[in-house]
Amino acid sequence: MQTLSLIGAPTDIGAGHRGASMGPEALRVARLAEALRARGLAVEDRGNLAGPFNPWLPPQAGYRHLDAVVRWNQAVMQAVSAELALGNLPILLGGDHCLAIGSITAVAQHCRNASKKLRVLWLDAHADFNTSELTPSGNVHGMPVACLCGFGPQSLTELGGTVPAITPEMVRQIGIRSVDEGERRLVHDVGLDIYDMRYIDEVGIKKAMEEALDGVDTDTHLHVSFDVDFLDPTIAPGVGTTVRGGPNYREAQLVMEIGGLRGTHAQLLTGAGYRTAQAIAAADPVAFSADILKFASSDAGKRILREGNTPDVERIKAWVEGARLAKAA
C-alpha cells in the first residue's frame, strides 16, 4: 500500500493577508489524517517545515519577501522530492499558494526522471500568472504558475535547475474568475488552458473536468493544487481573496470525486503512485479546515453512500482561539 505523507508548510510569506500559516495545524486538528485512514489509506505526518518569519514588508523591485519566498520553496521542493523518492504520495498542507512553485518543481523533476507525463490540475479563483511588471500588489502568491512556466525571478524559475520547470500545456485551470488585465494578455499569449466559471456555467462541471483530464492515463502523474478560494465564498468565506461566483459545495465535491477516480485508476493499473496534492489554506482556518477535510475525503474515495468522519468544528475553533491568544501574549 502506498503511503500518503502529510507535509505542513505554515507560512503566509507570499500572501496579502495573514492567517494561511495556521492552515496545517487547523487541518490536523480537524483530523485530516484520521479521515484519510478511514478510507483505508496509510498516512504518515511528517510535521511542519521551517522557514523565515513573515516580516510583512512592502514590495522591492516588484516582489514582496522574495528571498524568504525562495527559502520556503526550497524547503518544500526538498521535502516533496524526498517523499517521491521513497515512492510515497506527498500532500502539502499550506500555507499560501506561492508554495506551489516548490512542490510542482519537485513533481516535474520526478516526472522527468521517471519518463512520465505531468498533468497539473489547478483549482483556483485566480490564474496566478502575474509577473513583477504586471502585479498590482507584489504578492508572490499571484505568480506561481508564471514562475513555473519560466516567467519570473531567476531564483524561482531556476529553483530545480530546469527552466522552465513545466510548460503551459501541462496545466489545466478550473474555476478561474479573477484575472488582472495584464495577466489576462499573458495567459492568452502562452496558451494556458483555462476552464473559467463562464465556461463551467455553460457546459457544467462534469464536462469541464472530463475535458481537463482528457489524455490522463497510466503514464501520467496527476498533481492537484487546491486553493480554497476556488470555492464560492458562501461555503468558504475565510479566505483573504474572496471572489463571488465560484463552484458550489456539490460541484467542488464532484471535482474531487472525478479527480480521485481518475488518479485511483492510474494507481490500480500500474501499482505505483502517480498523484500528488497540495492544499492551500485560507485566512480563517476554521472556515477552511472543516470543508477541506470533506473534499479531501472525496478525493481519497469517499462517496455519498459511504460513511466518513464528521469534522469536529468546535475542536477546531478551540484550537484557533488558543493559538490566537498565545500569539497575542
| Eight-class DSSP state of 233 | T
- From 111, 105, 315, 317, select the one nearest 225 (Cα to Cα): 105
> d(Cα 166, Cα 317) in Å, to the nearest integer?
39
Domain 3-328 has CATH 3.40.630.10: no
CA distance to 140, 182, 214, 303, per residue, from 134 (Å): 12, 6, 32, 42
Domain boundaries, the chain: 3-328
Going edge to edge, which strands form the sheet with 193-196? 42-48, 3-9, 89-94, 275-280, 220-227, 117-123, 171-176, 193-196
Q: What is the pLDDT along the chain (329 residues), one digit of tens a residue?
A: 789 999 999 999 999 998 899 999 989 998 999 988 998 899 999 999 999 999 999 999 999 999 999 999 999 999 999 999 999 999 999 999 999 999 999 999 999 999 999 999 999 999 999 999 999 999 999 999 999 999 999 999 999 999 999 999 999 999 999 999 999 999 999 999 999 999 999 999 999 999 999 999 989 999 999 999 999 999 888 888 899 999 999 999 899 888 776 654 333 332 233 466 776 655 544 444 445 555 665 665 565 554 444 445 566 556 666 666 666 66
The angle subtended at Cα 288 by Cα 130 and Cα 89, nearest 5°, is: 75
